[in-house]
Structure 1
Amino acid sequence: MIEQTLEQALTLTPAEPGVLTADIHGDFSNGLISAPPESGFPFGGLIAALSAAAMARGLGLSAPLRTLSVQYMTPARFGQTLAFRPRLLRGGRSASFAGVDAVQGDRLTNHATATFGDDVAGMAMTPLRAPPPLARLQEGGTLTGPLSPRFSQHVDYRFDTGPHILQPDPDRPVVERAWMRTIDGRPLDALGLSFLLDAIYPPAWTALDRPVGMSTVDLRYDFLTDATPELCPEGWAFFEFRMLDFGLGWTVDEAIAWAADGTPLAVSRQRRKLAPVRMPRVER
């Protein structure tokens, strides 16, 4: 049962000067829905959205978000306030550069940087521009099953033949494609995209027959077009998640988001670190 909405989770409260705080609720755990929230950690997409919001609101930046890069140094904890301390690195007429630290107590959990800037008229090329690969499917819903992450309760999914979680197939690319929106029906914006671009299990899990532990180290978003109700009716966008590399203790995956008419909205790349494999002890 959902106890906190996404809008509530994205609420930032002014604390001392230059500090905004958020309460991290267990509804947004990346742990399995079949386990307590504390079996996982706060969902990386929520941390990314909060970081972007803290920079925009804390610094009074009105230009659209163009890039967002987040480092996940140590997991935040549930039930504790997460404090965001944004700072303007450089302001300008065409672009502003900002950074933010997320802190719990004396623990630096996350660091993020962002670029904000307005569009200008001029030459444009959009090689990614293409209609989404399928029309919106009429049936779907939240992910179900014991391996679904808890945060997925907040997302409405319409999969293209999927989900393929733990269904390896040598003839199928390691990719997951779906129409997605948040279940609260909020209009899609940069914060919603920040949430949805990470709102799925690791793409590597579509190539494996068992879950492998991993955690995000670096996450990078590039916002190409502002999401609007006209481009994303009822908050819908089409997403493709693809694994690029897996091995040597690391994995890299990427995602692309398209509007309903095929306009590319955003691209992302995520670097994850695999959990250490405990080797059996050998008696000598």
Structure 2
Amino acid sequence: MTPPEPVQSLDDALALSFGEDVARIATLTPDFSNAPLATDPLRGAPFGGLMAALAVRAMREGLDIQPPLMTLTVQYLAAARFEDITFTPTLDRGGRSVAYASVRAGQPGRPALTAMGTFGTLGHGPEVRPLSPSPTPFDALDPTPVDPRLAPWFTRYIEHRFDGGPKLGGGAPLTDPTLRLWMRTRDGRPLDELTLCFLLDGIFPSYMSVLPLPPVPSASVDLRYDLIEPITPDTSPEGWAIFQFRTCDVSGGWALDDGVAFAPDGRPLALARQRRKLFGPRRPPAD
């Protein structure tokens, strides 16, 4: 099965037009659906990484925020429709070194998300950096397309190189339930803040590597990113970053995973944590 080529470009998907006052408007299309490629994209919703990147851009452009993004927290209130969506940002508090902002996004009669961003400048101080990436060098990894029967539609915009394979269907042992890979967007753009927000959610949920097939569907409820240092054009000129996604817990109809992103030279760039609601078989009622 050969996936169809995307219609909308990533630049167009990340673009915002002016709304009323500070509001910004994005156009959501099925190209970025989180539904599997084997199904109708309209059965899914715009994937969380795109929505997170749009939330950051709306805060930056609507409020003219300049310092680097430090933390982003997103609550997905409901699945957005594939149509125009309005992001309305608010500056909660601004300062010389730290700014706090929030944004609400939605469509008529349908709130989609609320997000909070912390933006701050870096200063001088002690430095301890214990995080380290997968030891597998990039040159030792082959391009690895995700199985199109399981890959979401949005993965057509991303190039993946898996360390040890995708591990779908229980291929990751519980002693090390970690998915390791390199990713970049297929247009090869240098890594930047928005692209990193996009890629930090740019793969199937990591719990699919510890549970047997068929995959259990889910919806993102909470997503948090903590950026460790500003992303500049020199961070990764060819757009690559190293990612590690670790399944922390799957129980009670919920899944929790952590992610880490590194620059190609091994510098830690960001942490991510995501909580998802699973849509598996319902428990029978008690007698």
Regarding TM over 0.5, the answer is: yes
Match of 1:63 in 2: 67
Q: 1:169: how far off?
A: 5.1
Tell me, yes or no, if the aligned pair for 1:203 and 1:243 is still in contact at 8 Å: yes
Match of 1:133 in 2: 135
Give yes or no for the alignment of 1:220 onto 2:204: no
Count of aligned pairs between the two proteins: 281
**Which residue identity does 2:28 align to in structure 1?**
I
C-alpha change, 1:21 and 1:159, in structure 2 (3 Å) is: same
- Unpaired runs of 5+ in structure 1? none
Equivalent positions of 1:72-221 (< 5 A) are 72-78=76-82, 80-128=83-131, 130=132, 132-136=134-138, 137-168=140-171, 170=173, 173-210=176-213, 211-221=215-225
Match of 1:34 in 2: 38
* Residue-by-residue CA offset, 1:77-124 (whole Å, 9 max, x unaligned): 01x210000010000001000000001012211000001111112222
Q: Name the SS of the counterpart of 2:238 in structure 1.
A: helix
Tell me, yes or no, if the aligned pair for 1:33 and 1:147 is still in contact at 8 Å: yes
Match of 1:22 in 2: 26
Q: 1:6: how far off?
A: 1.2
Counterparts of 1:114 and 1:169, CA distance in 2: 33
**TM-score for the superposition, normalised by structure 1:** 0.94
Counterparts of 1:9 and 1:238, CA distance in 2: 24
Counterparts of 1:170 and 1:3, CA distance in 2: 38
C-alpha change, 1:274 and 1:138, in structure 2 (3 Å) is: closer
Counterparts of 2:46 and 2:129, CA distance in 1: 34
Counterparts of 2:174 and 2:276, CA distance in 1: 25
Tell me, yes or no, if the aligned pair for 2:17 and 2:25 is still in contact at 8 Å: yes
Q: 1:18: how far off?
A: 1.9
Q: 1:174: how far off?
A: 1.6
C-alpha change, 1:3 and 1:93, in structure 2 (3 Å) is: same
**Which residue identity does 1:49 align to in structure 2?**
A
Q: Name the SS of the counterpart of 1:234 in structure 2.
A: coil
Counterparts of 1:132 and 1:11, CA distance in 2: 33
- Unpaired runs of 5+ in structure 2? none
Counterparts of 2:222 and 2:155, CA distance in 1: 21
Counterparts of 1:45 and 1:162, CA distance in 2: 22
Tell me, yes or no, if the aligned pair for 2:171 and 2:210 is still in contact at 8 Å: yes
Match of 2:262 in 1: 258
Counterparts of 2:248 and 2:43, CA distance in 1: 27
Q: 1:182: how far off?
A: 0.5
